Chains A and B, each alone.
Chain A
Amino acid sequence: EIVLTQSPGTLSLSPGERATLSCRASQTISSSYLAWYQQKPGQAPRLLIYGASSRATGIPDRFSGSGSGTDFTLTISRLEPEDFAVYYCQQYGGSPPLFTFGQGTKLEIK
């Protein structure tokens, strides 16, 4: 089973700052199979990034994804007030369990 470990657990930043969130896999995964989601309190998750670096429809260009192998990064270039939320990475493993999520990074206002 591939385990995804996200860091940091909590990130405290101010609006306008740059956020860098990390997702590390326990073994090499294909970039095609890595996605990022945003979840705000009381809401369902929303797809931000798929294939490690492609933005989903309607996602602002301040969100970007990068990485390969075992290390992946979600970057928010300039934080807006609405960006403070919990972020999850997710991978498709092809073998049971088919899909796994990281434990999440909470991005909070400093």
Chain B
Amino acid sequence: EVQLLESGGGLVQPGGSLRLSCAASGFTFSTYAMSWVRQAPGKGLEWVSVIIGSGGSTFYADSVKGRFTISRDNSKNTLYLQMNSLRVEDTAIYYCARTLSGYWFDPWGQGTLVTVSS
């Protein structure tokens, strides 16, 4: 069974940093692109970042470019999101998702909540 399990969320002050992890199992991790998608409380879905299987290419939404860094460790089947210079508007549930054919997301993890507040 394909499973994704996020961790690392929590409460952080504006300007602070946090590192999210997503542990993958049930599929050949290194052969799939992986993404982070977030959802602010009561709001819709916003794509954040994607990384190809090898880790050689990464892409970001303008809202996080220069502040967030996506990476992966294929030996550990784990995806990461390093979040720096956090803002109140980054408060959201962060989901990791396998990116099929490079075009759509399936499955999704259960999400981890990041709250940026003083």
- Chain A interfacial positions (CB closer than 8 Å to B): 32-33, 35, 37, 39, 43-47, 50, 56, 88, 90, 92, 96-104
Contacts and interface: CB of A to CB of B under 8 A. Distances in A.
B45 A92 contact: no
Given A98-B59, A99-B50, A47 B105 contact: yes
Contacts, number: 61
A104 B103 contact: no
Contacts of B102: 92
Contact of B62 (A90, A92, A96): A96
A46 B111 CA distance: 13
Given A46-B107, A46-B108, A50-B103, A97 B44 contact: no
Contact of A103 (B44, B47, B105, B109): B44
Contacts of A37: 45, 105
